[in-house]
């Protein structure tokens, strides 16, 4: 019995064993399948990841393209910005300049209103060149801002004295260049009558922008008269010159003068070789007003004669004139010498030793420049002078007048 039981036991154990083996074999298969499934899953995931990676790379490329575009855009903006800043800086600079110009024009207009338009100092470079000018011939201006005091009469007859082709003494006959800078044209009338020419308003051409000295000399009119030295010439003017003076004033106030200084135009011409080599003397008849012509005359002159009547009002006028000269002396006429005061229209009753002459001398002592504060020989009041005015030189027509202007001429000659 026991054996049977043992046998059954063995049989059960064997069965159990085989069942177990059988069972263990099917577990390995499923593991492989699982692994294969997992592998397929991983492969799928890998494929998807690769796709994702490709997508990501594509997006990266897009992003980089975007960055490049942005950089280009930023560069353009930067460039644009810089251009704008440059334009802004230029606009600011222009505004500043216009502001400055406006201020300058405003100051010039104010100076014109205050009557100081022509008294402004010269540009330093021009000043230096102006100070260095040397004339080898006397350039004599006859002036006074008071009207009717004999300026033109003295300029004409003194010029005739120096130009005299047959002088009374052994002195030389001068080639004189006469310049009428008063648009009233009194001197011009005499000169045109003496030479038989026609008026050409020649002074105005001195102010043509491109006028060169040789051309200015060629523009002047020969003063043909047998009583005068050959080579004398003149620049005449008439009332149309007044228009030019006004025009020049407005140009000056507007700051339109491109090169140089309008006040030095005559000086530039008269100090040129073209004038210095062709004349022995220049005589300028100044206007009775302080405009552009008067300042040109002062800037060009090497010497000044103050013409005056022999009375108290005229003595006071000398003070005002000389005071004005002092205001412009350093810049416009730093080397101009005062020759003296020339009294004219002296009546027999006028006493040179009275109080008028000391008054005149006192007034003239306001002058701090070179030369003499002295009374020159006076010219008496003579009908021969007034009757020849505008027609001829009284100096050439009347012996007494000739004597008076000879005295004056000799005194002038000694002071040159």
Ligand X SMILES: Nc1ncnc2c1ncn2[C@@H]1O[C@H](COP(=O)(O)OP(=O)(O)OP(=O)(O)O)[C@@H](O)[C@H]1O
Q: How many CA atoms lie within 13 A of 182 on its CB side?
A: 26
Cβ-closest position to Mg ion: 152
Select the residue interacting with ligand X from 223, 318, 379, 412 (CB under 6 A): 379
Least separation in angstroms between CB 180 and Mg ion: 8
Name the pairing type of β-strands 281-285 and 303-309.
unpaired
**With contact defined as beta carbons under 8 Å apart, do 275 and 217 qualify?**
yes
Least separation in angstroms between CB 211 and ligand X: 25
Quick note: the x/- pattern for ligand X over 133-152, rule CB under 6 A, is --------------xxxxxx
Between 68 and 386, whose beta carbon lies closer to ligand X? 386
**Nearest C-alpha neighbor of 317 from the set 150, 118, 140, 141:** 150
**With contact defined as beta carbons under 8 Å apart, do 336 and 369 qualify?**
yes
Select the residue interacting with Mg ion from 144, 152, 157, 190 (CB under 5 A): 152
In angstroms, rounded to a whole number, what is the distance separating the alpha carbons of residues 304 and 308? 13
- What is the three-class DSSP state of 188? helix
Least separation in angstroms between CB 160 and ligand X: 13
Structure tokens at 356: 């008028």
Select the residue interacting with ligand X from 192, 298, 385, 408 (CB under 6 A): 385
**403 contributes a contact to ligand X by CB under 6 A:** no
Which of Mg ion, ligand X, none sits in contact with 389, Cβ below 5 to 8 A by type?
Answer: ligand X
Which residues, in sequence order, are bridge partners of residue 371? 338
**The 139-143 sheet, strands edge to edge:** 221-222, 233-235, 176-180, 281-285, 139-143, 303-309, 337-344, 370-371
Select the residue interacting with ligand X from 284, 389, 396, 408 (CB under 6 A): 389
Q: Which residues from 180-199 bind Mg ion, rule CB under 5 A? A: 182, 186
In angstroms, rounded to a whole number, what is the distance separating the alpha carbons of residues 395 and 160? 7
**242 contributes a contact to ligand X by CB under 6 A:** no
In angstroms, rounded to a whole number, what is the distance separating the alpha carbons of residues 214 and 374? 36
Least separation in angstroms between CB 307 and Mg ion: 9
Least separation in angstroms between CB 378 and ligand X: 9
Region of 66-74, 121-129, 378-386, 407-415 interacting with ligand X (CB under 6 A): 378-386
In angstroms, rounded to a whole number, what is the distance separating the alpha carbons of residues 92 and 73? 28
Name the pairing type of β-strands 176-180 and 233-235.
parallel
**CA angle (318 as vertex; 350, 346 as ends), nearest 5:** 20
Between 223 and 264, whose beta carbon lies closer to Mg ion? 223
Least separation in angstroms between CB 185 and Mg ion: 9
In angstroms, rounded to a whole number, what is the distance separating the alpha carbons of residues 339 and 226? 29
Select the residue interacting with ligand X from 381, 397, 407, 410 (CB under 6 A): 381
Considering CB under 6 A, how many residues would be counted as binding ligand X? 20
Name the pairing type of β-strands 233-235 and 337-344.
unpaired
Least separation in angstroms between CB 371 and ligand X: 21
**151 contributes a contact to Mg ion by CB under 5 A:** yes
Structure tokens at 131: 């100070």
Region of 129-137, 145-153, 262-270, 363-371 interacting with Mg ion (CB under 5 A): 145-153
Which of ligand X, Mg ion, none sits in contact with 149, Cβ below 5 to 8 A by type?
Answer: ligand X
Residues that bind Mg ion (CB under 5 A): 151-152, 182, 186
Residues that bind ligand X (CB under 6 A): 147-153, 182, 184, 186, 288, 307, 344-345, 379, 381-382, 385-386, 389
């Amino acid at each position: 019995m026991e054996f049977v039981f043992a046998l059954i036991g063995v049989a059960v154990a064997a069965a159990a064993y085989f069942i177990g083996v059988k069972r263990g074999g099917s577990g390995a298969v499923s593991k492989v399948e699982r692994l294969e499934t997992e592998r397929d899953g991983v492969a799928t995931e890998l494929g998807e990841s690769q796709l994702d990676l490709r997508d990501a790379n594509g997006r990266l490329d897009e992003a980089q393209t975007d960055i490049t575009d942005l950089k280009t855009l930023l560069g353009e903006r930067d460039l644009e910005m810089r251009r704008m800043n440059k334009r802004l800086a230029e606009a600011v600079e222009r505004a500043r300049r216009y502001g400055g110009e406006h201020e300058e024009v405003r100051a010039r207009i104010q100076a014109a209103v205050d009557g100081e338009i022509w008294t402004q100092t010269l540009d330093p470079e021009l000043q230096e060149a102006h100070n260095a000018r040397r004339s080898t011939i006397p350039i004599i201006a006859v002036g006074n801002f008071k009207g009717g005091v004999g300026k033109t009469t003295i300029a004409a007859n003194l010029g005739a004295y120096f130009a005299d082709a047959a002088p009374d003494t052994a002195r030389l006959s001068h080639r004189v260049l006469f310049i009428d800078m008063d648009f009233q044209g009194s001197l011009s009338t005499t000169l045109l009558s003496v030479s038989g020419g026609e008026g050409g308003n020649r002074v105005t051409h001195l102010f043509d922008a491109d006028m060169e000295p040789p051309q200015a000399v060629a523009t002047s009119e020969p003063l043909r008269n047998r009583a005068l030295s050959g080579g004398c010439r003149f620049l005449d003017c008439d009332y149309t010159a007044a228009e030019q003076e006004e025009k020049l004033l407005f140009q000056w106030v507007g700051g339109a003068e491109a090169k140089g200084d309008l006040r030095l135009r005559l000086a530039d011409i008269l100090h040129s070789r073209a004038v210095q080599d062709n004349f022995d003397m220049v005589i300028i008849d100044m206007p009775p007003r302080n405009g552009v012509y008067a300042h040109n005359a002062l800037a060009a002159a090497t010497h000044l004669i103050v013409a005056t009547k022999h009375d108290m009002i005229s003595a006071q006028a000398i003070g005002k004139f000389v005071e004005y000269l002092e205001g412009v002396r350093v810049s416009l006429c730093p080397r101009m010498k005062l020759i003296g005061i020339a009294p004219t229209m002296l009546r027999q009753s006028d006493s040179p030793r009275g109080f008028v002459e000391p008054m005149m001398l006192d007034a003239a002592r306001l002058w701090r420049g070179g030369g003499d504060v002295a009374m020159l020989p006076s010219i008496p009041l003579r009908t021969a002078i007034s009757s020849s005015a505008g027609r001829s030189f009284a100096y050439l027509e009347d012996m007494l007048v000739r004597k008076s202007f000879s005295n004056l001429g000799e005194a002038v000659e000694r002071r040159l």
